[in-house]
Amino acid sequence: MGSKMEPRLASGNQAVAWAARHLGVSLGTGYPGTPSTEILENFSLLGGRAQWSPNEKVALEVGIGVAYGGARALVTMKHVGVNVAADPLFTVAYTGVRGGLVLVSADDPGMGSSQNEQDNRRYAKAASVMMLEPADAQEAYDFLFDAFFLSETWNLPVMFRMTTRVCHSRGIVTPRNPSPASKTPHFVRDMPSYVMIPGYARPAHRRMREKMTKIAEWNEQSDLNTLYEGDRRLGIVTSGVAFLHAREAAPYARILKLGMTYPLPIHLIRRFAASVDRCLVIEENDPYLVESLRAEGVECEGKLEMYRFDELNVARVRRIIARDASPEPARPKGKPPQLCKGCPHRIAFGVMKKMDCIISGDIGCYTLSVLPPFETHDSCVCMGASVGVGLGLRHALPDDEARRVVSVIGDSTFMHSGLTGVVEMVYNPPKTGHVIVILDNGTTAMTGMQEHPGTGRTLDHAKTNQVPAEDVCRAIGVKNVHVLERAGAFEKALRDGLAKAEPTVIILRKLCSLAAPKLKKYQLATEEET
Amino acid sequence: MMDANKVTNVVIAGLGGQGVIRAANILAETAFKSGYDVKQGEIHGMSQRGGSVTSDVRFGKKVYSPMVPVGEADYVLVLEPSQEDNNRFYLADHGLLLSIGRFLNDAADVSALDHDDTPVTARNCNVALLGVLSGHLSFDDGQWEAAIRVNLPEKAHDENIRVFHYGKTLA
């Protein structure tokens, strides 16, 4: 994608990257996660400065620092990443920012590639952060301009909620003239605004809520929300990609499409609801709008509970309109994904299956080992949970079972949130010891081969300082750290580890077979640099 | 054939790694450059690891949803014979299922289709099937060829344009 100012086909993610360039975003940070990953990759390809952080919390904190310094920051993550970043999010809502700060939350209704389908509109409301919801690639482009405008007008962060179908669907995008930040970054000391001790946080909370009231008033007139005239017998309140399905399913209906879903333009919605015979809310996943409208005394109808699950589409919206509660036709089953032929994880799971290990697993390609032919993943909760959950099992189970528990985690996931688990293992060791297996394939494979601190290369594959997992584990105090470059040595190392009543880390280091040619090329290039 | 006022719905189906999304990109680009509104949708992520993959391409005067509604596909293109049955439900009553297996000599293994001047391989069969589709649509060959060039590396241009035209003869 070039930067010529002609319309072009782009995905929602590419459109956000393009807009970020046109807005002169100073730094993009994030952690890879489907469906958000391609935003920073494209931003970097377009010449923007982008970095993968070890996890989403750090990414948001770096973005906050950029915005405190008066520059524009774009922070990207998938919906569950916002859980990791929630701690800074709730308080940056109080402190506000000097430069623009936009947090992209890429939600995954239907769980195309996620462990849950949480609805992050709830975060906007819980943290009191403005939320914009684009419906397609053009809006993803346009709304990012609005997001930075709002962030800089109110000196507050903005959440930018995309969903899988917005991120990964392509459409025609017509760009605007570039609109870079007008401020030059510099430090301004302002302790009452940025140091959240209780004495400063109490007035900050009030200040923020006062601003939210004013923003809600502003939103009443905002052109982020659009009214589509139509037959008043059916009125639809909707937002995001659900609007596209609704417009197609009921082209005759009167539609209020909300672009800013927190804070809501409640008077606009109330007038709309009063103008139609039947006011139906069409929204994916949680009844966020329905609950918000009802709390304000706006009479409206929501979807049946069965449509809360999975993503919407035109057919399902037609059923919602018809209040159709009959069972939905089942989709024919396709071929499930599996570990690639030649994947080094295959050998590891073969051994662990043979040894009847209880596997406390994690998030990555290796989670696929739960499917045939391996069926060897016993739990998978969230990024990094393998270590904590494995330790908990070791503490609770009878000794003979506890000795079979292994925590299995990938190299990128380990950097993301496995480190603190290792500290826990050393600090509170189970009496049977414990074994962590790091399946180090040299890349963040599942999301499409992104770099991470352990690879020693930056987002654009240039050389940087490397954080080797084995050094970190030894520094934390794990005495038994084994790095294996040959899969054949794995079985013995695992047997020895399980037999010891001590914390053990086994790192099986074999390049992802899919990424190996590319990774070797990056390795060579960075070796030549030195 | 195409009706300018109606949205044309195409689903491209196959397995991860077969070039489903690349084929969809070429079709979407062709429709876009031919003056149509276009939406293209797909799921990637876990499904890339050898599992079933589909990509939807919709074009017309104005397109809203990026997803082809079930039972409304005008064409379903299938790059892998095993993926025919599980994607048939997308087809409209009048819809056509264009499967690589059926169109290229009924062979299940595309490597059996090699031909001296137009070798159809696992790598380019997605473009061959677009050639078959092109016989049913009314886009200019020039737009198809331009879209192939935009979406593929230069060294693959000649070969893919050749198999595209070979596919068109089979339509």
| A51-63 confidence digits (pLDDT tens) | 999 999 999 999 9
Q: Which residues of A287-309 are buried (b: 16+ CB within 10 A; e: fewer)?
A: bbbbebbeeeebebebbeeebbe
Q: Tell if the CB–CB gap between A170 and B28 is shorter than 8 Å.
A: yes
What is the distance between the alpha carbons of residues A164 and A157, in angstroms, rounded to a whole number? 22
Count the helix, strand and coil residues of chain A and give each as a percent rounded to the nearest 5: 45, 20, 40
Q: How confident is the model at residue A15 (pLDDT cuts 50, 70, 90)?
A: very high
The two beta strands, B37-42 and A170-173, are antiparallel
What is the distance between the alpha carbons of residues A246 and A310, in angstroms, rounded to a whole number? 16
Say which residue, A126 or A487, is predicted with more confidence. Answer: A126
For A313-326, write each residue's pLDDT tens digit. Answer: 999 999 999 999 99
Q: Tell if the CB–CB gap between A313 and B51 is shorter than 8 Å.
A: no
Q: Using beta carbons and an 8 Å cutoff, which residues of B are at the interface with A? A: 15-16, 25, 28-29, 32, 37-52, 63-67, 69-71, 82-83, 85-89
What is the distance between the alpha carbons of residues A243 and A240, in angstroms, rounded to a whole number? 6
Chain B partners within 8 Å of A372 (Cβ): none
| DSSP H or E run through A10 | strand A8-11
Give the CATH number of domain A226-321: 3.40.50.920
Q: Give the phi and the psi of residue B83 in degrees, each rounded to 5.
A: -100, 10
Q: So where are chain A's domains?
A: 8-221, 226-321, 344-529
Chain A partners within 8 Å of B146 (Cβ): none
Please give, rounded to a whole number of angstroms, the shortest distance from the CA of B84 to a CA of chain A: 10
Altogether, the residues listed in chain A come to a count of 530
| pLDDT tens, residue order, chain B (171 aa) | 556 679 999 999 998 888 999 999 999 999 999 999 999 998 765 556 778 899 999 999 999 999 999 999 999 999 998 999 999 999 999 999 999 877 655 444 445 445 555 667 788 889 999 999 999 999 999 999 999 999 999 999 999 999 899 889 888
Query: Is residue B62 included in any domain, yes or no?
Result: yes
A494 by Cβ neighbours in 10 Å (0-12 / 13-18 / 19+) ranks as: buried
- A480: which 2 tokens? 């038994």
For A267-307, write each residue's pLDDT tens digit. Answer: 999 999 999 999 999 999 999 999 999 999 999 999 999 99
From the list A168, A244, A334, the residue facing B44 with the nearest CB is A168
Contacts of B93 (CB under 8 A, 6+ apart): none
For B87-124, write each residue's pLDDT tens digit. Answer: 999 999 999 999 987 765 544 444 544 555 566 778 88
Q: Residue B106: its pLDDT value, please?
A: 45
- Residue A450: strand pairing partners: A444
C-alpha A500: how far from its chain's center?
Answer: 38
- A326: which 2 tokens? 């009959």
Residue A155 CA: distances (Å) to CA of A145, A223, A330, B144: 15, 20, 48, 48
From the list A244, A334, A365, the residue facing B65 with the nearest CB is A244
What does DSSP assign to residue A418?
Answer: I
What is the distance between the alpha carbons of residues A418 and A436, in angstroms, rounded to a whole number? 10
Query: Is residue B2 included in any domain, yes or no?
Result: no
**ipTM, 2 decimals?**
0.92
Radius of gyration of chain A (CA): 25
From the list B45, B49, B89, the residue facing A35 with the nearest CB is B45
- Residue A438: strand pairing partners: A409, A507
C-alpha A177: how far from its chain's center?
Answer: 29
Q: Tell if the CB–CB gap between B64 and A333 is shorter than 8 Å.
A: no
Q: Tell if the CB–CB gap between B44 and A340 is shorter than 8 Å.
A: no
Angle at Cα A520 formed by Cα A75 and Cα B124, nearest 5°? 85
Identify the three-state secondary structure at position B52.
strand
Please give, rounded to a whole number of angstroms, the shortest distance from the CA of A503 to a CA of chain B: 32
Say which residue, A124 or B159, is predicted with more confidence. Answer: A124
pTM of the entire structure? 0.95
**% of chain A surpassing 90 pLDDT:** 92
Query: Is residue B112 included in any domain, yes or no?
Result: yes
Amino acid at A310: D
- Residue B13: strand pairing partners: B54, B78
What is the distance between the alpha carbons of residues A27 and A40, in angstroms, rounded to a whole number? 10
Side-chain half-sphere exposure of A261, counting CA atoms within 13 A: 32
For A507-523, write each residue's pLDDT tens digit. Answer: 999 999 989 999 999 98
Q: Residue A182: its pLDDT value, please?
A: 80
Q: Tell if the CB–CB gap between B37 and A172 is shorter than 8 Å.
A: yes
Q: Using beta carbons and an 8 Å cutoff, which residues of A are at the interface with B? A: 9, 34-35, 112-113, 136, 164-165, 168-172, 241, 244-245, 247-248, 313-315, 329, 331-340, 365, 368, 446-448
The whole-chain average pLDDT of chain A stands at 96
Taking CA atoms, what residue in A is nearest to B31? A9
Q: Between A and B, how many CB-CB pairs are < 8 A?
A: 117
- Residues A390, A434 contacting (CB under 8 angstroms): yes
Q: Residue B108: its pLDDT value, please?
A: 42
Please give, rounded to a whole number of angstroms, the shortest distance from the CA of A88 to a CA of chain B: 28
Amino acid at A356: D
Query: Taking the C-alpha atoms of B148, B153, B159 and B164 in order, what is their torsion angle to the nearest 10 degrees?
Result: -20
A161: left (phi over 0), alpha (psi -120 to 50) or beta: beta
What average pLDDT score do residues A81-90 get?
Answer: 98
- A506: which 2 tokens? 């086994």
C-alpha B142: how far from its chain's center?
Answer: 17
CATH class, domain A344-529, is alpha beta
Taking CA atoms, what residue in B is nearest to A330? B89
Number of domains in chain B: 1
CATH classification at residue B62: 3.40.920.10
From the list A244, A329, A365, the residue facing B49 with the nearest CB is A365
- Which residue's structure tokens are 């997803």? B67
Gap between the terminal Cα atoms of chain B: 13
CATH class, domain A8-221, is alpha beta
For A385-441, write each residue's pLDDT tens digit. Answer: 999 999 999 999 999 999 999 999 999 999 999 999 999 999 999 999 999 999 999
Query: Is residue B54 included in any domain, yes or no?
Result: yes
What range does the domain containing B119 cover?
A: 8-170
Residue A285 CA: distances (Å) to CA of A124, A288, B51: 15, 8, 25
Please give, rounded to a whole number of angstroms, the shortest distance from the CA of B32 to a CA of chain A: 7
From the list A9, A331, A337, the residue facing B46 with the nearest CB is A337
Q: Residue A530: its pLDDT value, please?
A: 56
Strand order in the sheet with A358-360: A358-360, A405-410, A434-440, A503-509, A480-484
Task: Say if residue A357's pLDDT is above 50.
Answer: yes
- Residues A504, A480 contacting (CB under 8 angstroms): yes
- Residues A379, A360 contacting (CB under 8 angstroms): yes
Say which residue, A128 or A528, is predicted with more confidence. Answer: A128
Q: Residue B120: its pLDDT value, please?
A: 76
What average pLDDT score do residues A376-386 get?
Answer: 96
C-alpha A62: how far from its chain's center?
Answer: 16
What average pLDDT score do residues A19-42 get?
Answer: 97
Q: Tell if the CB–CB gap between B86 and A332 is shorter than 8 Å.
A: yes
Query: Is residue B22 included in any domain, yes or no?
Result: yes
Taking alpha carbons only, the member of A41, A147, A37 closest to residue A81 is: A37
The reply to whether domains A226-321 and A344-529 share a CATH topology is yes
Taking CA atoms, what residue in B is nearest to A448? B45
Chain A partners within 8 Å of B86 (Cβ): 332-334
From the list A113, A168, A335, the residue facing B52 with the nearest CB is A335
